[in-house]
Amino acid sequence: MKKEPKNFLSVRELGEQGLLKRLQRFCPPEWVGDDAAAIAMTPEPNRSLVVTTDMLVDGVHFSDRTTSAEDVGWRAAAANLSDLAAMGAAPLAITVSLGLQGDTPVSWVEGVYTGMVSCLDRYQTAIAGGDVCKAPVNVISITAIGWVPTDRTIRRQNGKPGDAIVVTGVHGASRAGLELLLHPEIGKGWSEEETQELITAHQRPNPRLDVLPILWEVMGEGGEIAGMDSSDGLADAIVQIARASGVGATLDRPLIPLPPSLSQRVGEERALEWALYGGEDFELVLCLAPEVARQFVERLGNRAAIVGTLTKSTRVCLTDSTGAYADEVITQSLSFQHF
């Protein structure tokens, strides 16, 4: 977190109640001010409440080198909304808990909230409250609440041999954007447009709530869906789905959608590594019956692709339909791990 000149107002100087009063303006007034938020809901049968929590820590998930306060807020909100999308759920609200160092500028905290609201407004989602406390390092913890029709809940365990593996968007863009922020010399000779597109992919990812209505139209009334988001990398998502479903998977190397011209810029091997293991693309990885998968991809055009198949074996591997490369076992060992 960037330290501003000493003429800034710190959270220590403003105090807990003063900070809470400032942050309440980012929330609907009817939801804050009590011990908990009371959100009116229309009771309907066959609905499941979906709850997810994600934590971002200064120096681990964000830094001044790569993210402004507004970008931190956006990414924090997007990460949680992506988890809801991965379950097939529509968002209702989020709560935000902050652990803050006393010398943190109030302007930085307000910037975080501005970024969160900018992201949430796209999905008609509000901040329902939260908490603040003193901490040795700045921490943002968000709990997101959503709902999903029970028979449309996306679960990792629902995969079946023969299912097509579908991914939305492109993979490797967020990692490429991070590398450009950390090592600007990599982008020498790149156009400003492609550089900014990759940086934006890292700083302002979009949770794929937008594709769910199309998925439900294609699915019709029945059928189970296996899936999750690719926040920890495409390889991690496929391994986790296969493991939870008790199946294997083959992923066809040439079919993995990469950002335009990335292979030419950084080389095919590095581009593929960033796509498989870079993480933070926040796309959806879905396992669908082949005909449903084809219809879904057709509806989304270049915003989705079939990249492989679930198999009866428990082996997860990267294949190459062109024959240029030998099969390669995919593991989680190269994906991001906290410990």
CA atoms within 13 A on the CB side of 26: 26
Burial of residue 330, with CB atoms counted within 10 A of its CB: 0-12 exposed, 13-18 middle, 19 or more buried? buried
Is residue 1's pLDDT more than 70?
no
54 annotated as a binding-site residue: yes
Q: For residue range 163-194, what is the model confidence (pLDDT) as tens digits?
A: 999 999 999 999 999 999 999 999 999 999 99
298 annotated as a binding-site residue: no
327 annotated as a binding-site residue: no
% of the chain residues with pLDDT over 90: 73
* Residue 17: partners with Cβ closer than 8 Å, 6 or more residues away: none
Helix 192-203 and helix 69-86, axial crossing angle in degrees, nearest 10: 70
Name beta bridge partners: 285. 167, 228
Amino acid at 101: Q
Residue-level pLDDT at 28: 79
Q: No. of H helices and E strands in the chain?
A: 11, 11
% of the chain residues with pLDDT over 70: 91
Q: For residue range 300-321, what is the model confidence (pLDDT) as tens digits?
A: 998 999 999 999 998 999 999 8
Residue-level pLDDT at 337: 54
Higher model confidence: residue 339 or residue 137? Answer: 137
Residue-level pLDDT at 339: 46
DSSP conformation class of 9: P
Q: For residue range 284-297, what is the model confidence (pLDDT) as tens digits?
A: 999 999 999 999 99
Tell me the C-alpha distance between 320 and 268, whole Å. 14
Q: For residue range 266-279, what is the model confidence (pLDDT) as tens digits?
A: 999 999 999 999 99
Lowest-confidence pick of 35-44, 216-225, 255-264: 35-44
Q: For residue range 235-250, what is the model confidence (pLDDT) as tens digits?
A: 999 999 999 999 999 9
Residue-level pLDDT at 213: 96
Q: Which of 144, 126, 109 is nearest to 31 (CA)?
A: 126
Is residue 43's pLDDT more than 70?
no
336 annotated as a binding-site residue: yes
Residue-level pLDDT at 197: 96
130 annotated as a binding-site residue: yes
Sign of CA dihedral 7, 11, 15, 20: positive
Q: Which of 274, 303, 305 is nearest to 177 (CA)?
A: 274
Residue-level pLDDT at 34: 58
**Tokens representing 330?**
């995919």
pLDDT band, residue 20 (cuts 50/70/90): confident
pLDDT band, residue 19 (cuts 50/70/90): confident
Helix 106-121 and helix 69-86, axial crossing angle in degrees, nearest 10: 40
52 annotated as a binding-site residue: yes
Residue-level pLDDT at 338: 47
287: part of which helix (H) or strand (E)? strand 284-288
280 annotated as a binding-site residue: yes
Is residue 78's pLDDT more than 70?
yes
231 annotated as a binding-site residue: yes
- DSSP alpha helix (H) spans, the chain: 11-14, 16-23, 69-86, 106-121, 173-182, 192-203, 212-219, 234-245, 262-266, 268-277, 290-300
**Residue 46 zone, left/alpha/beta (φ > 0; ψ -120 to 50; rest):** left
Q: For residue range 183-235, what is the model confidence (pLDDT) as tens digits?
A: 999 999 999 999 999 999 999 999 999 999 999 999 987 778 999 999 999 99
229 annotated as a binding-site residue: yes
DSSP conformation class of 4: P
Residue-level pLDDT at 194: 94
Count CB-CB contacts under 10 A for residue 108: 22
Name beta bridge partners: 251. 308, 318
Dihedral angle of Cα 247, 251, 252, 256, to the nearest 10 degrees: 150
Contact present, 82 and 212 (Cβ < 8 Å): no
252 annotated as a binding-site residue: no
Mean pLDDT, residues 156-167 taken together: 97
Q: What is the pTM of this model?
A: 0.88
Contact present, 253 and 330 (Cβ < 8 Å): no
Dihedral angle of Cα 121, 124, 128, 131, to the nearest 10 degrees: -30
Tell me the C-alpha distance between 78 and 92, whole Å. 14
The per-residue pLDDT of the chain, averaged, comes to 90
DSSP reduced 3-state for 80? helix
